C-alpha cells in the first residue's frame, strides 16, 4: 500500500465526516457556542480540535513531500491556539475543513509516495526531534494525531448533545454495506 493511498482517502473521508457532524450540530440552538465546549478544563475546545485535525492533514502531506508548510498551516495553528478566546463560527470551521479537502483533492495519485523506510526528521516547536521512517511518520504520528483531534471533536459534540452515533463516524463505509445485512430490514 502506498502512503498516498493510505493517507489521502483517510484524511478526506474523515474530514467529510467531521463536516457532516458539524452540519448536525448546526441544527442546535446557539450552535456556534459549541466551538467553545471542551471535554476537560485543561483540554483544547472543539474549535481547536477541528483546526488541529486539518493541520495534521496539511502537515502530513507537506512533510512527506519534503515541502515547506504553506502559510495556512500557521494560520490554523494560531486560530486553534487562540480558540479559547476566539472560537469563531461553525461556518469558519467548515471553511477550514473545505480548504483542507480541496488541497487533498488537488494531489496527484502518487503525491506522497516515497520509500517506506526513507528517513524523516519530525521536529516539534519545543525542540524535540523524532527520527522516523516515512511509513513510521504516516502510521505512528500523522494518523495518530489526526484521529486524536478527530475523536476529541466527536466526543465534545456527543457530550454537548449532538445526535451522533457509529453510523456518523463510519458513514464513508455505508456504500460498502451488503444489501440485506442490516438487522431489522
Residue 130 parent element (H or E): strand 129-133
**Could you tell me which residues come within 8 angstroms of residue 180 by beta carbon, excluding any fewer than 6 positions away?**
none
Residue that is written with C-alpha cell 480540535 in the block: 49
Q: Which pTM was predicted?
A: 0.93
Q: What angle do CA 91, 96, 98 make, to 5 degrees?
A: 90
- For position 82, what pLDDT does the model report? 95
Residue range 40-57: mean pLDDT, rounded: 97
Please check the confidence at residue 12 and state whether its pLDDT lies above 80. Answer: yes
- pLDDT tens-digit readout, 111-130: 999 898 999 999 888 999 99
Give the Cα separation of 132 and 141 in Å (integer): 9
Give the Cα separation of 45 and 83 in Å (integer): 7
C-alpha cell at 179: 444489501
- pLDDT tens-digit readout, 126-165: 999 999 999 999 999 999 999 999 999 999 999 999 999 9
Q: Going from the N-terminus, what domains does the chain have, and what CATH number goes with each?
A: 3-176 (1.20.120.450)
Amino acid at each position: 500500500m502506498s502512503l498516498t493511498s493510505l493517507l489521502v482517502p483517510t484524511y478526506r473521508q474523515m474530514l467529510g465526516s467531521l463536516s457532516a457532524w458539524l452540519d448536525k450540530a448546526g441544527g442546535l440552538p446557539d450552535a456556534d457556542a459549541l466551538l467553545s465546549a471542551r471535554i476537560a478544563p485543561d483540554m483544547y475546545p472543539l474549535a481547536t480540535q477541528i483546526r488541529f485535525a486539518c493541520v495534521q492533514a496539511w502537515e502530513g502531506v507537506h512533510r512527506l513531500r519534503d515541502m515547506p508548510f504553506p502559510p495556512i498551516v500557521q494560520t490554523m495553528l494560531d486560530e486553534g491556539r487562540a480558540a479559547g478566546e476566539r472560537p469563531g463560527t461553525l461556518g469558519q470551521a467548515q471553511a477550514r475543513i473545505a480548504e483542507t479537502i480541496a488541497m487533498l483533492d488537488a494531489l496527484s495519485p502518487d503525491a506522497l509516495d516515497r520509500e517506506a523506510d526513507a528517513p524523516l526528521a519530525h521536529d516539534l516547536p519545543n525542540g524535540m526531534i523524532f527520527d522516523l521512517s516515512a511509513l513510521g511518520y504516516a502510521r505512528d504520528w500523522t494518523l495518530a494525531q489526526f484521529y486524536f483531534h478527530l475523536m476529541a471533536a466527536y466526543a465534545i459534540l456527543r457530550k454537548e448533545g449532538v445526535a451522533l452515533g457509529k453510523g456518523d463516524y463510519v458513514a464513508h463505509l455505508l456504500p460498502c454495506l451488503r444489501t440485506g445485512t442490516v438487522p431489522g430490514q
